[in-house]
Structure 1
Amino acid sequence: MKLVKLSLVAAMAAGAFSVANAAPLEEVLKDIDVSGVLRYRYDTGTFDKKFEPIKNDQLNGSKQQHKYRAQINFSGAIADNFKAFMQLDYSANDGGYGAYQPDPNSPQYNPNVSNTSKGLSVRQLYLTYTNDDFATSVIAGKQQLNTIWTDNGIDGLVGTGIKVVNNSIDGITLAAFAVDSTNARTEQETDTLQLLNWEKNIYGGAALASYNVFGGDINSQLWLAYMSDTAFLYALDVAYSTTVFDGVKWTLEGAYLGNSVDNSVKGTNNNPVNSKPVSWDGKNNNFFALRGTVEFGGWDATLGGLYYGKKDGVTITVLEDQGNLGSLLAGEEIFYTDGSRLSGDYGQNTFGYVTAGYTFNETVRVGGDFIYGGTKTDLVGFGGDKMEAVARVNYKYSPKLDFSAFYSYLNVDRKNAGSADHNTVRLQALYKF
């Protein structure tokens, strides 16, 4: 490589020339849309001593934990039919006194530190081409997946690949995607994800429809995906909403998620009770969920239930966390207990739940959840009856700013191993711009 040395005068001249020919900042930014989110969480939780053998790092075990999340999005047209998108992300945890960390030998273990060394990172970066004649968009690059199996909020799984979206049929959106890498290994992975081989490509497609029928609205989703040499996944979600009486809104939603796991998917975990190795085979899974909701005059009430998993092996329902199934679930901690984790666990689960609340002046909602069920498994000391009660309050201060809080009491009664309790509190402020 040839090196060129500039004199001080020449360097200054070159710098002046480049500045003189650069576009003013306001010219650069005038066609760029800026949006984002700021989130603060304070978590605190306690376990009784009997919970120790089945405690895992997905349950809130922090005595004091401050969690910060910030995302800034930049989107703008760069040429005819082409748009660029970039998302900067900041995430940090500050641990207060006695903050629970699963591995004291980890470099990240430091329960009494205020983190100021974290910086912004590029979380998403992609290019979108839109053809209006065919109502089709092609999105290529690093992007949040936003499927039924992944979190569609600000913490969702990110993958590098290509997605094609078509809206040429009124009321129907068709999509196809191919992903050759994800951030599961760096951000999302927990011990529940050992069933999946994240080195493999993911291919899939979806059909999402919304239309009016029988005096109400139907929203449906059909999803198919294939993770090479690992699993074939399929899902159907249908929700119907209508006004049955004057001012009374009724919604019924049902979902089925299934998958077929490759015979080569095997592994070994430690029994959480006695730490002895347990060999397992990956099992095919069927997830069923149904819920009905009634809303009237500020009141809302929901009754629902779900079933999934196998008592003699490990299954998955979603690819990360709780997927995009939030409307079909209840509680806060119960689906993170051993045996019940939707992103992969050992056990057969059955739960029923009821939620209710009242919203004052369309700004403050006070409510609660009660969920009861259990996990069946052939592992001694594992699974058992489970119950969670949650009290919650949400305050919509403005269209952009929300405050929320919840208290959760969780009980796990393991057969022949005793009952264990867990309490947790979360306070959150969320600002979107």
Structure 2
Amino acid sequence: MTKITKLSLIAALTVAGTSACAQPLTEAIKNVDVSGTVAYRYNDYEEASDHANNNYKIGLNLSSKVNDDVTANTRFIIGAGTGEASLGTSTDSDRNVDVTLSEVNFTYTGVKGLAVTVGKQAIDTPWTVARDSMGNEQTGTGLVAVYNVGPATLVGAYFNQTNFNTTEASSELTDAGLTALDGSEDIYVVGAMATFAGVTLDAFYADLDDVFDSYTVGLAANYDVSGVKLSPFARYTSLDLDAADLDNNLWQLGLTAKAGIFEGFVAYGETDDEGGVVYFDSGAKTNMDYHWRVTAEGQGDAEYLYVHATADVTDNINVGLFYSEADYTTDNDINEVYAQVKYQMSSNFATYVRFGELSVDNTDEDGSMGRLHVEYSF
């Protein structure tokens, strides 16, 4: 985060509102931390009818210390809702995008090891993506308590309003027998994480009222073997729909190996015959979304494989080759292969270029694909 001493009039009024009567305006501005991301992305997919589009998103976080124990937090998104604004090059004019106040909350840290956040905030769970520089974010109104004790962290959360009705998984779960979500459903989450001797174990349980209950268990480790850094991981997730006799499951294993300038990655996963919709966001930890357009989409008896190799050719330039495949019982198997060049100009500014090929069996939904992504963080 970057401490600033000057804000625009709008930002200053926002801070003053969140800490009204708590401190003078000059002190409020002095105690504001600002962070966020600015991202632009250009996609060009040959198989799409409007094959090219421009994507924009700015996320701005303002955090103001109210007193020694309480911090006021807000997040603004310039995009479309909590996601990016996507403008097709042939169907959209170069219009302006929307501004959304996506988070407004207060965090209490007056007890050692404990943080309690109340209000509208990001829903940070293994099933969701809480913050994303280019993509949708899950938010809700409720309470989250996090308690650190020794090597363990305990988490408890309750939300009575969410934006789950806008998620990609909502339609997939509806197809699987779920009543359509409207965002008013209560959700309860409890979990624990602990690290011992380089091994991190986490276990979480979630109950979306009258909709489903789900649990996930994950394991990650880091080892140094003869100069090679090995990072294996594993996760199993089960999601049981209340209104249908369906138990979705997805298990996955993976390994990252890094030696010198080279890095290799492999991950493999399978769903059971009833389905694999075990997430709200495809980029969540409970899902498999390690490369570009091949993700675990919830089909039953599916197998997924991700492999890539990268190299740091200079201090600022990384090149890589990526392969992904999804094997479905419907025979509409998907695979992609692409090359990527990433340029890290500085620690807070990076860009990458991708070009490759997407193949979908028995359909015309394939062809070449390209992407340019530019991102600044502050």
If the TM-score is normalised by the length of the shorter chain, which range does it land in? Answer: 0.7 to 0.9
1:113-146 CA distances to partner (integer Å, 9 max, x unpaired)? 1122x3422111111111333x111111111111
1:44-78 CA distances to partner (integer Å, 9 max, x unpaired)? 1111xxxxxxxxxxxx7642211110111111121
Within the alignment, does 1:296 sit opposite 2:276 as a pair?
Answer: no
Q: CA deviation at 1:419?
A: 6.7
State how 1:124-135 maps to structure 2 within 5 Å. Answer: 124-133=103-112, 135=113
Aligned partners of 1:333, 1:61: CA distance in 2, in Å?
A: 17
Give aligned-pair identity as a percent: 23
Cα distance 1:370–1:94, how it changes in 2: closer, same or farther (>3 A)? closer
Three-state SS of the structure 1 residue aligned to 2:201 is: strand
Structure 2 length as normaliser, TM-score? 0.84
Q: Partner residue of 2:246?
A: 283
Q: Is the 8 A contact 1:330 1:355 kept in 2?
A: no
1:341-373 CA distances to partner (integer Å, 9 max, x unpaired)? 1xxx44331122321010133422110211234
Within the alignment, does 1:208 sit opposite 2:178 as a pair?
Answer: no
Aligned partners of 1:348, 1:322: CA distance in 2, in Å?
A: 20
1:304-355 CA distances to partner (integer Å, 9 max, x unpaired)? 2110153xx55511122331358x54331122xxxx41xxx44331122321
Q: CA deviation at 1:220?
A: 2.1
Q: Partner residue of 1:423?
A: 368
Within the alignment, does 1:159 sit opposite 2:140 as a pair?
Answer: yes
Three-state SS of the structure 1 residue aligned to 2:361 is: strand
Q: Partner residue of 1:149?
A: 127
Three-state SS of the structure 2 residue aligned to 1:147 is: coil
Cα distance 1:232–1:293, how it changes in 2: closer, same or farther (>3 A)? same
Aligned partners of 2:184, 2:24: CA distance in 1, in Å?
A: 44
Within the alignment, does 1:395 sit opposite 2:348 as a pair?
Answer: no
**Which structure 2 residue ranges, 5 or more long, are not aligned?**
1-20
Three-state SS of the structure 1 residue aligned to 2:172 is: helix
RMSD: 2.5
Q: Partner residue of 1:64?
A: 52
Q: Partner residue of 2:67?
A: 79
Three-state SS of the structure 2 residue aligned to 1:149 is: coil
Q: CA deviation at 1:189?
A: 7.0
Q: Partner residue of 2:208?
A: 227
**The one of 102, 112, 119 aligned to 1:123:** 102
Q: Is the 8 A contact 1:43 1:62 kept in 2?
A: no
Cα distance 1:74–1:413, how it changes in 2: closer, same or farther (>3 A)? same
Q: Is the 8 A contact 1:179 1:203 kept in 2?
A: yes
**Which structure 1 residue ranges, 5 or more long, are not aligned?**
1-20, 48-59, 99-110, 266-281, 378-382
Cα distance 1:253–1:70, how it changes in 2: closer, same or farther (>3 A)? same
Structure 1 length as normaliser, TM-score? 0.74
Cα distance 1:209–1:176, how it changes in 2: closer, same or farther (>3 A)? same
Q: Is the 8 A contact 2:189 2:205 kept in 1?
A: yes
State how 1:280-429 maps to structure 2 within 5 Å. Answer: 283-310=246-273, 315-324=276-285, 329-335=289-295, 340-341=296-297, 345-377=298-330, 383-414=331-362, 420-429=365-374
Structure with the greater alpha carbon radius of gyration: 1
Q: CA deviation at 1:190?
A: 6.3
Cα distance 1:192–1:260, how it changes in 2: closer, same or farther (>3 A)? closer
The code of the aligned residue for 2:206 comes to A
Aligned length: 346
Aligned partners of 1:284, 1:64: CA distance in 2, in Å?
A: 38
